[in-house]
Amino acid sequence: MGVLDKVSHTLIKYGGHSQAAGIALQPEKVQEFADCFERAVRESLGPNGVPEIIVDYDEYLHLGEVRSSDLVELTKLEPFGEGNPFPVFLIDPEIVESRTVGKEDEHIKMIAKTKDGYAEIIAYGLAKKIEPIIGKIKAMVRFKSSAWSDLGFEFELIEIL
Residues 36 and 63 in one domain: no
Residues 19 and 71 in one domain: no
Residues 41 and 78 in one domain: no
Q: Rounded to whole angstroms, how far apart are CA atoms 23 and 94?
A: 47
Q: How many domains does the chain have?
A: 2
Report pTM. Answer: 0.66
Residues 73 and 122 in one domain: yes
Residues 25 and 63 in one domain: no
Which domain covers residue 7, as residue numbers? 3-45
CA 157 to centroid of chain Cα atoms: 8
Residues 63 and 24 in one domain: no
How far from 160 is each of 89, 125, 137, 138, 156, CA to CA, in Å?
12, 14, 7, 6, 11
The gap between the terminal CA atoms of the chain, to the nearest Å, is: 34
Residue at 51 is within a domain = no
* Ramachandran sector of residue 60 (left: φ over 0; alpha: ψ -120 to 50; beta: rest): beta
pLDDT of residue 104: 95
pLDDT of residue 156: 95
CB 156 within 8 A of CB 122: yes
Count of other CB atoms within 10 angstroms of residue 89: 22
CB 114 within 8 A of CB 121: no
pLDDT of residue 15: 87
pLDDT by position in tens, the chain (length 161): 588 899 999 999 998 877 788 999 999 999 999 999 998 888 888 777 776 667 789 999 998 899 888 888 888 999 988 889 999 999 999 999 999 999 999 999 999 999 998 999 999 999 988 888 899 999 999 999 888 888 889 999 998 98
pLDDT of residue 71: 87
pLDDT of residue 41: 86
